[in-house]
A = this chain, B = another copy of it.
Amino acid sequence: MLSDLEISHKADLKPIQEIAASFGIAKVEIEPYGSDIGKINLSILKRIDDRPLGKYVLVTAITPTPLGEGKTVTTIGLSMALNRIGKKAVCTIRQPSMGPTFGIKGGAAGGGYSQVVPMDRFNLHFTGDVHAVSSAHNLLAAFLDNHLYHGNVLDIDPYTIGWPRVIDMSDRPLRQVMVGLGSKSNAPLHESKWDITAASEVMAVLGLSHNLHDLRSRLGRIITAFTQDGKPVTAEMLKAAGAMAVLLKEAIKPNLIQTLENTPALVHTGPFANIAHGNSSILADKIGLRLADFVVTESGFGADIGAEKFFNIKCRQMEKTPDVAVLVCTIRALKMHSGKFKVAAGKPLDVELIKPAPAVVEEGLGNLLKQIENVQLHGIPVVVAINRFDTDSQEELELVKAAALKAGAQAAVESELWARGGVGGEALAWAVIEAASKPSHFQYLY
């Protein structure tokens, strides 16, 4: 069996201009970054503004094990499957963070035969967007401290500084630091911390912006500290928002890359779901919806975190609601939810987890059923996708499907996107098309 990296290196990539053209992007609208990656110039927005919108498919999941249950694989693979069966489709995913890339969890390009390529540039600097977010974020921190150094006209209380610095790295000792030691020329002295860039509010803001002007305005409203009499101090008041927007001038352009099957993939922004909204950008999705029949996107963690944020934050800001949700699960994770097993990244899997045990699967079903209910509360149809492993027994798979349907899922299908690429998801694709064709009754809950 080939590793993800080996599969990736065997890929037969097409020039990014060709991918762009096939997707309906004009030559002047694609800015190449090397031969395989491009940025989409925002001038496209005006040209395609009056086109009809495609169907909007959200991929979410049950509560995952630390190994992940295949949301990204399903997102990428489903878009390939839809293309295979004649639908113009694109996936929109988030950029990786170098923290996990150099850690145990690894990159974020999907896996098996459902990957985006080239993997190495994707997982490292890509087109520099994460660096630009770091720069813009840290520029604001420097402006804030500089304001305190140069007389503090705004009367900022240094003990209220709530704007950290960021770095795209897992760097433990930066979690709690003291800056400005030594002498007054290094002032201001205060406690601070570094977050990972994916946790930056600038990253969250970038993902929610509709255009450069909107970005500029959102950046200006960021609160960094409070005055001695308790009033908020914004980036605008610190005169930093303009420079931050300039630093994000390229980063606001969605990135175009391709899947192993040469279908287009939009990759843009990467906020973490634990401390931000955890969804890829509104801009990428909007472009995708004007150019394709189907846009398949994903949200971080399980449906009770990432999908909730997708529905209540991203959709609200985007003014576009989803047509169908794909809920990914694995037999392995359902067994873990029985409470009988511990799964830890970087440690060997408990062998009991891969032996057929329908009764144990049944004990863990509650998580799946609750997540189905959660999504249905928002009024949209659910398709359950069982990300199938060789070690799953048919009895286990049927048991899950039956339970899902009983809980109200529109469909429950097995998928083999990881092992077989798009062809392994054709059943899922048809089920999604079917579910998406029904009228949506979406509603916000918060």
Q: Which residues of A contact B (CB under 8 A)?
A: 31-35, 39, 98, 102, 120-121, 124-125, 127-128, 131-132, 134-135, 138-139, 141-142, 145-146, 149, 157, 159-160, 167-191, 243, 246-247, 249-250
Shortest Cβ distance from residue A416 to the other chain B in the assembled complex, whole angstroms: 32
**Which 8 A-B residue pairings sit nearest by Cβ, starting from the closest?**
A173-B180, A131-B131, A176-B182, A159-B184, A128-B128, A173-B179, A176-B181, A178-B178
| B171 close to A175 (CB less than 8 A) | no
| B124 close to A247 (CB less than 8 A) | yes
| A173 close to B188 (CB less than 8 A) | yes
Among B186, B190, B243, point to the contact of A175 (Cβ < 8 A). Answer: B186
| A135 close to B125 (CB less than 8 A) | yes
| A172 close to B185 (CB less than 8 A) | yes
A178: chain B residues at CB < 8 Å are: 177-178, 181
| A142 close to B170 (CB less than 8 A) | yes
Please measure, in the bound complex, the distance between the C-alpha atom of A159 and the C-alpha atom of B185, giving whole angstroms: 10
Among B32, B127, B246, point to the contact of A124 (Cβ < 8 A). Answer: B246
A189: chain B residues at CB < 8 Å are: 173, 189-191
Q: Across the two chains, which residue of chain B brings its CB closest to A145?
A: B173
20 contacts between A and B (CB under 8 A): A32-B32, A33-B33, A98-B135, A102-B243, A124-B246, A124-B249, A125-B128, A128-B128, A131-B135, A135-B168, A142-B169, A142-B172, A146-B172, A157-B184, A173-B186, A175-B182, A177-B177, A177-B181, A181-B191, A189-B190
Please measure, in the bound complex, the distance between the C-alpha atom of A307 and the C-alpha atom of B184, giving whole angstroms: 35
A134: chain B residues at CB < 8 Å are: 131
Centre residue among A120, A160, A172, A243 by max chain B CB count within 10 A: A172
| A132 close to B142 (CB less than 8 A) | no
| A179 close to B182 (CB less than 8 A) | no
Please measure, in the bound complex, the distance between the C-alpha atom of A121 and the C-alpha atom of B253, giving whole angstroms: 14
A149: chain B residues at CB < 8 Å are: 172
Shortest Cβ distance from residue A232 to the other chain B in the assembled complex, whole angstroms: 17
Shortest Cβ distance from residue A336 to the other chain B in the assembled complex, whole angstroms: 26
A39: chain B residues at CB < 8 Å are: 34
A187: chain B residues at CB < 8 Å are: 159, 172-173
Query: What would 13 more interface pairs be, CB under 8 Å, given A131-B135, A135-B169?
Result: A34-B39, A125-B250, A142-B171, A145-B171, A159-B183, A159-B187, A172-B180, A172-B186, A173-B186, A176-B180, A177-B181, A182-B191, A189-B189
| B139 close to A169 (CB less than 8 A) | yes
Among B34, B125, B132, B190, point to the contact of A31 (Cβ < 8 A). Answer: B34
A182: chain B residues at CB < 8 Å are: 175-176, 191
Shortest Cβ distance from residue A288 to the other chain B in the assembled complex, whole angstroms: 22
Q: A32-B32, A102-B243 are in contact. Are A141 and B172 (CB under 8 A)?
A: no
Shortest Cβ distance from residue A140 to the other chain B in the assembled complex, whole angstroms: 11
A31: chain B residues at CB < 8 Å are: 34-35
Please measure, in the bound complex, the distance between the C-alpha atom of A25 and the C-alpha atom of B178, giving whole angstroms: 50
A157: chain B residues at CB < 8 Å are: 184
A146: chain B residues at CB < 8 Å are: 172
Please measure, in the bound complex, the distance between the C-alpha atom of A128 and the C-alpha atom of B127, giving whole angstroms: 8
Shortest Cβ distance from residue A381 to the other chain B in the assembled complex, whole angstroms: 42
Q: Across the two chains, which residue of chain B brings its CB closest to A188?
A: B173
A159: chain B residues at CB < 8 Å are: 183-184, 187
Please measure, in the bound complex, the distance between the C-alpha atom of A186 and the C-alpha atom of B167, giving whole angstroms: 16
Please measure, in the bound complex, the distance between the C-alpha atom of A135 and the C-alpha atom of B134, giving whole angstroms: 11
Please measure, in the bound complex, the distance between the C-alpha atom of A35 and the C-alpha atom of B43, giving whole angstroms: 15
A171: chain B residues at CB < 8 Å are: 138, 141-142, 145
Please measure, in the bound complex, the distance between the C-alpha atom of A171 and the C-alpha atom of B135, giving whole angstroms: 12
Shortest Cβ distance from residue A410 to the other chain B in the assembled complex, whole angstroms: 44
Among B102, B131, B172, B246, point to the contact of A128 (Cβ < 8 A). Answer: B131
Shortest Cβ distance from residue A322 to the other chain B in the assembled complex, whole angstroms: 33
Please measure, in the bound complex, the distance between the C-alpha atom of A39 and the C-alpha atom of B32, giving whole angstroms: 12
Please measure, in the bound complex, the distance between the C-alpha atom of A176 and the C-alpha atom of B243, giving whole angstroms: 26
Q: Across the two chains, which residue of chain B brings its CB closest to A33?
A: B33
A243: chain B residues at CB < 8 Å are: 102
Shortest Cβ distance from residue A195 to the other chain B in the assembled complex, whole angstroms: 13
